[in-house]
Amino acid sequence: MSRPLRSNFPRGSYLWAVRNAQWQVLGIPEEDCEKPKIAIVNSSSGLAACFSHLDGIVPVLKDAIRAAGGVSFEIRTAAPSDFVVAPGAKGAYMLVSRDLVTNDIEVAVEGALLDGMVCLTSCDKTVPGQLMAAGRLNIPTLMVACGYQPSGQYKGQHVDIEDVFVGAMHAQMGHLPMEDLIGMSREAIKGPGVCSGLGTANSMHIVCEALGMALPGTTPVAANSPQMFEAVRLAGQRIVQMVQEDLKPRDIMTAEAFANAVRSILSVGGSINCIKHLQAIATESECDVDVYGLFNRLAQDTPVLSAIRPVGDRFIEEYEAAGGARATLKQLESLLDRDVMTVTGQTLGQNLSGVRVADEDVIRPMSRPVANKPAIVLLRGSLAPDYGIVKTGIIERKSRQYTGPAICFSAADDAIAALQRQDIRPGHVVVMRGAGVTGGPGMGGGSSKVVFAIDGAGLGSDVALITDGHLSGLVCKGLVVAEVSPEGAVCGPLALVEDGDMISIDLDSQRCDLLVDEAVLAERKRHWTPPKKQFDKGWLQIYRRNVSSLAHGAVLIEPHASNRK
C-alpha cells in the first residue's frame, strides 16, 4: 500500500497499542493493522423481512474483502421498516430513522477513522441514510442493494405487500371481507427482502446505481439470489481498490450525477420520496444542487419508459430480467451526462458501452415510451409556495384540472372516521395537515392510510387530497398533492385553510392554489396559533428541534427558527 491510510498509527504508539490489544482478542492478526480497514455497514434487524437476511450476507462480504487485501469490521445501525415502526408515535419514527442511520454510521466509522465502507442497503430509509453518511464522511463507499422479496398468490391472483396495505384500508371501509385480508397477509411475502413493487426501496436502489454509487447491473435484484451474492463478492473486491485509488463519494455524487439519478426515477415513475432523499444526500455531500428544481425541469423531456407496479402492471422481476437500472440508463443515454465518475473508476459512458436491453417492451426506448407526460409533477401556487408533489402515474386522466371545497383534518383517524360517516363527498378536497417534518414530526401522520381509505370508499376518482405529509412509495392512487411546503406546523398556507374554502389543482399549469382573498388569509394568519408539539421527548424531540426544511432534504442542519423552542 503506497498511499497512507488514515486508520494507521505509528507502531507502538498509544492508539496503535490499544487498538492492537482490542483487535488481537477478536482474532485479527497484528499485521492486519496496516491493511485498509473497511466498515461493513449492516442495517440488520429481526423485526422485518426487509432486513432479516443481511446477517447471512456479511460472511461472504468479509471473505471478499479479506481476499482483496483488506480487513473488515461489521457495524450496525438502526433498521426501520415502515410497516413495523409505523405504530409508534403515529408513524413519526419512520422518516426520522433515516437521519439516525446517518449518525450511527458517523459515530462508528468516523470515530474509528476507518478507510472505506460497504453499505448493505435494504429498506427505504436505510438507503438514503447510508448515502447521506457517505456524502458527509466522504470516504470510499460502495452501496450493495440486498434485494426485493418474493411475492405470493391468493385465490389464484398475485398478492404482495402493496395489496395488503390497500386491502387493509378497503377492509376498514367495509369493502373487503376480513377473511380475505387475513388470507392475503399470509401469502403476500414469501421470503426476505424489500417490498417487491417499485416503491421507495427499489426506487432508491436504482438511485444508487444511477448516482454511480453501486456497481453497474446490480439493481434491482432478488434477495438472496446468485446475482445478489455475485454483486456482494464484487463489492468486497472493489472497495479495497477504491481505498487504494482514494475514490470518494464527492468525486462521484456531483450535480451532474444527481441530474442523471433524477432522470432515472422520472423514467420509471419511481417513488416521490426519492426527491427529498436525493436532496438530503446532496445537502450532506455539500453539493450545491436543487433536486426539486431538477425534478421540475427534467420532467418536461424525460419520458416514462417502464410501467412497474404500482405505476403499471409489470412486476419488478420483469424489470430486473430486462436489464434493470443499467438498461434504463442505456435507454436514457442521450439525455445523461456520460462523463460522470462511478464507483468502478470509469465513467458512466464507459460503463454503458456495449450494454443491451434484454426486453424493450419492459424497458422501452425513448422513441416508444410508455407515456410522454411525466409520472411525477411538482406544483406551486398560493397553497404550495415551495412545492407540492403529485404522482400522476401513467394513466391518462379524464381531467387534469380539479376545483373543489376543502374539508380539513389534523389526524388521519379523523379523516377515516369522516369517510365512514360519509361526511367526505364527491367534489371535496381533503386537507390533511400537521404531518410535515416539524409537525409530524418527521412526516408521521398516516397520510397514505387516508389515500387508501378514500380508494376503499369508492371515492378515488371523485375526491382530491392535499397534505404536508409524505406518502408510501407504493401509493399511486387518485389525485394527491403530497409534501406541500411550507408545512402547516410553521404556518404555511395549508394551516390557514378552512372548511369550504375553494382549492384549485391544475396539473398542466402545475398550480395548486387556495382561492381565498389575501386580506382574509392575512387576518387568519394574525390569529393563528402553532399546534401543540407532538411526542416532544427523546429522539423525536431532537429531530423536531433540529430538522431543516424539505428544501434541504429535511436533514439535521439549518433548522427552522420556530423548531428550536
Active site residues: 472
Residues 6+ apart with CB under 8 A from 483: 272, 275, 276, 387, 388, 389, 436, 443, 467, 468, 469, 470, 550
The three three-digit cell numbers of residue 327, written as one number:
438498461
112: Cα separation from own chain's centroid: 28
SS3 559: coil
The residue ranges of DSSP E strands in 66-200, in sequence order, are 71-76, 116-121, 141-145, 152-154, 157-159
Phi and psi at residue 360, to the nearest 5°: -85, 5
| Residue in 368, 114, 127, 123 with CA at minimum distance from that of residue 223 | 123
Q: With contact defined as beta carbons under 8 Å apart, do 306 and 363 qualify?
A: yes
**How far apart are alpha carbons 257 and 254 in whole angstroms?**
5
Cβ-count burial 396-419 (b if 16+ within 10 Å, e if not): eeeeeebebebbbbbbbeebbebb
DSSP assignment, residue 148? B
CA distances from residue 525 to 275, 516, 534 in whole angstroms, order as listed: 30, 13, 21
State which amino acid sits at residue 156: G
> In angstroms, what CA-CA distances link 390 with 169, 206, 295, 415, 444?
21, 20, 12, 20, 19
Angstrom distance (rounded) from CA 529 to CA 535 = 18
Alpha-carbon dihedral 393, 359, 208, 211, rounded to 10 degrees: -90
**SS3 call for 235:** helix
Q: At what angle do helices 273-284 and 126-137 cross, to 10 degrees?
A: 20
Grid-cell match 421498516, residue found:
81
> Which residue type, as a one-letter code, is found at position 520?
V
Site of grid cell 422481476 = 317
In DSSP terms, 390 is beta-bridged to 377
Closest to 239 (Cα-Cα) out of 110, 64, 107 = 64
Q: Tell me how many degrees the CA angle 544-545-547 measures, rounded to the nearest 5.
A: 65
